[in-house]
Amino acid sequence: MNDIPPNQPTGVTLTDEVFTTPVAYILLDATYLVIGINQKAADADFRVGDRLTDCLEEDAKSSFLQLADASGKGTFESSYNQKGRFEFHVSPTAEATRTQLWAFDLSELRLIQSQLQQLKKPERKFLHQMGNLVSSTIGYVELVELMLDESTVLSGERLVAIKRYQGEIGTSLRKTENIIQNEKRGAMPYSGNFGSSTQHVLVVHPDPTRVELLAELLRSQQYKVTTFSDTEAATKFARLNGEFLNLAILSESNKLADYLLKASDTLQLLICASEKPEIENSRVSTITDKPLDMNEFLSKVQEIRSEANGPEH
């Protein structure tokens, strides 16, 4: 029997709480076929119809099968279809023929670790700040892991707590990245504060955490930044203030991108997405968003603004 409803990209119907929870959720049938995912999992490129065991690394596949054959409960780490880096939490469901997984995206954490390793002789204060933030982040991650392991149902106060802890994790990561950028200033190619408070950047992304991260990176380079998570609100802002914008950073090619290009003959667009947009326009640049490399992002912004302004004097 096929559990996947026709024309339903997220598979079997999930509760609203599970579908909107900020952690990727994957539901498997007895043959480890993905039959249901929530929105976070869809955003991370998990797909209904995939067979999980075909999408994992060999070592991770063995770990998962051992967990499934034993208690049906535990954790393992792997890429998915050779993309990203995830920590999977496996647990049984009320139906014996199904297995559920929660997947934490580790890609940006790994990127931050890599950037930390590139730093030379960090100061004691820097190490102290990083130690405190990393400890706090790990503490919240462990709380979320504990709550996921204790229950197969997310609802009520438990779901509210997980969302709050997830928010704290995001806040700690943003603070960590700010400290890294401050420490690296003067060492990286973009460290000369290439921006200007007279240059106005519009940032639009559906993920509030990503919006804040991009905004802080740009503000650290002296840009004036306006952010939105809602495209309709961003469009209204652009109608009133479009003439004052120098650059727009979007998560996808959409109606807002079309409007901005038509409304201005000079505005530059940078689209941060996993796939190249269909827009064919010399004023549109792209950068890979999964995961987002902060160094590459700032270098790309510098390149776009340099081309728009001409040689600096």
Tell me the mean pLDDT in the region 96-104. 89
| pTM for the model | 0.45
**How do strand 34-37 and strand 83-92 relate by DSSP bridges?**
unpaired
Higher pLDDT, 202 or 240: 202
Which residues have C-beta within 8 Å of that of residue 246, sequence separation ≥ 6?
199, 200, 201, 267, 268, 305, 308
pLDDT digits (tens, 9 = 90+) for 170-205: 777 777 766 666 665 544 433 444 555 578 999 998
Per-residue pLDDT band for 101 (boundaries 50, 70, 90) equals very high
The proportion of the chain whose per-residue pLDDT surpasses 90, expressed as a percent, equals: 21
What span, in angstroms and rounded, lies between the C-alpha atoms of 37 and 41? 6
The token duo for 95 is: 């139906």
State CA 84 to chain mean position distance. 11
pLDDT score for 65: 92
The residue to which tokens 């240059």 are assigned: 199
**Which of 258, 272, 263, 249 lies closest to 195, judged by CA?**
249
| Exposure string over 143-172, b if 16+ CB within 10 A, otherwise e | bbbeebeeeeebeeeebeebbebbebbbbb
Per-residue pLDDT band for 72 (boundaries 50, 70, 90) equals confident
Lowest-confidence region among 34-48, 134-148, 220-234, 289-303: 134-148
The residue to which tokens 């790994």 are assigned: 110
pLDDT score for 55: 95
What span, in angstroms and rounded, lies between the C-alpha atoms of 44 and 291? 10
Higher pLDDT, 110 or 74: 74
- Residue 129: pLDDT over 80: no
Query: What is the overall mean pLDDT for the chain?
Result: 78
String of DSSP letters for 189-246: TTTTT---TTSEEEEE-S-HHHHHHHHHHHHTTT-EEEEES-HHHHHHHHHHHGGG-S
CA distances to 9, 28, 97, 174, 274 from 35, in Å? 10, 6, 12, 34, 24
| Exposure string over 208-233, b if 16+ CB within 10 A, otherwise e | ebbbbbbbebbebbebbbbbbbebee
pLDDT score for 310: 58
pLDDT digits (tens, 9 = 90+) for 18-30: 888 878 999 999 9
Q: What are phi and psi of 97, to 5 degrees?
A: -85, 0
pLDDT score for 151: 54
The residue to which tokens 């199904």 are assigned: 98
- Residue 297: pLDDT over 70: yes
CA quadruple 69, 74, 79, 80: dihedral sign: positive
Tell me the H-state helices in the chain: 16-20, 39-43, 52-55, 58-69, 107-118, 124-150, 156-184, 208-219, 231-241, 255-263, 294-309
The token duo for 213 is: 């991260």
pLDDT digits (tens, 9 = 90+) for 29-71: 999 999 999 988 998 899 999 999 999 999 999 999 988 888 7
Higher pLDDT, 130 or 191: 130
Q: Are 26 and 45 in contact (CB under 8 A)?
A: no
The token duo for 150 is: 């204790």
